[in-house]
Amino acid sequence: SPDLAAFANGVMIRYLDFNDGFVSLTHGAGHPSDTIAALLAAAELTERSGRDLITATVLSYEVFCKIADTFDYLGSGVDHSTITGFATVIGASRLMGLSPEQMVHAIGITVGGNTAIRQGRADTLSNWKAFAAADASRKSIFSAQLAQSGMTGPGSVFEGRLGFFNLISHKPTAPLQLGEPYGIRRAFTKRFPLGQFSQTVAQAAVEARQFVRDPNEIQEINIRVSRSAIKIMADSPDKWRPQTHETADHSIPYAASLVLMYGRIKPEYYEEPYLHDQRLLDLVSRVKCMPSDEADRSEHEFNLCELEIVLKSGERKTFRVEYHRGHFKNPMTDDEMEEKFSAMAQKHLSADRVDSLLCKLWALESVPKVGELIAATRA
């Protein structure tokens, strides 16, 4: 069914943490690429073109990014998958041909019934971290189907007496300023398969590894990042001794140590035997994460990281990264994007099919039906 197809798409988009990221003006963070899960299902269902999919994607990103800019969802304890639902239902409704009135009802159904809390991203992380946004996409496309079939949704779902503003945000959200500059232009690509607050940490560790010949020479690793980064990715002992894949790929100490130990990060490093590799864990134990006032001041623009290596010899050196590779002010090249794509796809498709799929993606605007793209991804 379309809603379960959106759910499956969402899990596959999300699971390796190679998705995109967005840092809002309210200092919240999220992944607007999650919305594409339902857009793919809706576009396939209605036989839409690649150009239609691009238009709906820009629309969904716009809603996601501009809501994130005006609503401090991290401060309210609401999970960003809630905003994924808001954005997704609008893009999917457009692809499915809903009227404006039907779209209002679809929004009411989505907002009224699908607000998520952030506990799924606290303490030891479970599978649900990667499934929450997929579930938001599932519910959104189902909401659009219900509204298209005539079901009405709650009115005044934002400003009503028991609406979103009064019960969740506790204050009105400023009117959205949709349009130029488009939010999608401020989204960034992840160079490494880990949480977005660790992108600059991993890049700083790549640079630091040229300074360290042997990880055993390291006495201390001091990492200065924003308080938001620490709250999400260095907030508890679990981040120094991760027991699950999800906790490991959202751990600043583990990410820095992986790069210093192996020179890169691969998804398998979040599984056994690495999670209990004593040599690696010894290195993780030498990591200290400290808040940086400068990083706090700049976090709406970039995730500043200052990584200091202190050797047993007493020598020390600091590596500073502001805009990680893949940030919209330090974008990856087309070749780097192809390299990243091929590394992920070649595990499931033959080399010739990877090349064929890549050609379709680069020419997405000319693809007559999105179903052709879906067919090209089937293993």
Please name which of 12, 105, 19, 121 lies closest in space to residue 73, comparing C-alpha atoms. Answer: 121
Instruction: Count the helix, strand and coil residues of the chain and give each as a percent rounded to the nearest 5.
Output: 55, 10, 35
Q: Please state, in angstroms and as integers, the Cα–Cα distance from residue 299 to each residue in 26, 194, 203, 223, 362, following that order.
A: 9, 18, 17, 15, 32
- Mean of pLDDT values over 60-87: 86
Number of Cβ within a 10 Å radius of residue 15: 19
Residue with tokens 């790069």: 259
The pLDDT tens digits of the residues spanning 3-52 come to 999 999 999 888 777 789 888 877 667 899 999 999 999 999 999 999 99
Position 46 scores a pLDDT of 96
Strand bridging mode 287-291 / 218-225: parallel
**Lowest mean pLDDT, pick from 236-240, 291-295, 299-303:** 299-303
Q: Which two tokens stand for residue 292?
A: 């940086």
Between CA 370 and CA 39 the distance in angstroms is 10
Helix (H) or strand (E) holding 87: helix 81-96
Between CA 245 and CA 110 the distance in angstroms is 30
Alpha-carbon torsion angle 305, 311, 312, 313, nearest 10: -140
The pLDDT tens digits of the residues spanning 351-363 come to 999 999 999 999 9
Average pLDDT of the chain to the nearest whole number? 91
DSSP string, 236-304: SGGGTS--SHHHHTT-HHHHHHHHHHHSS--GGGGSTTGGG-HHHHHHHTTEEEEE-HHHHHHTTT---
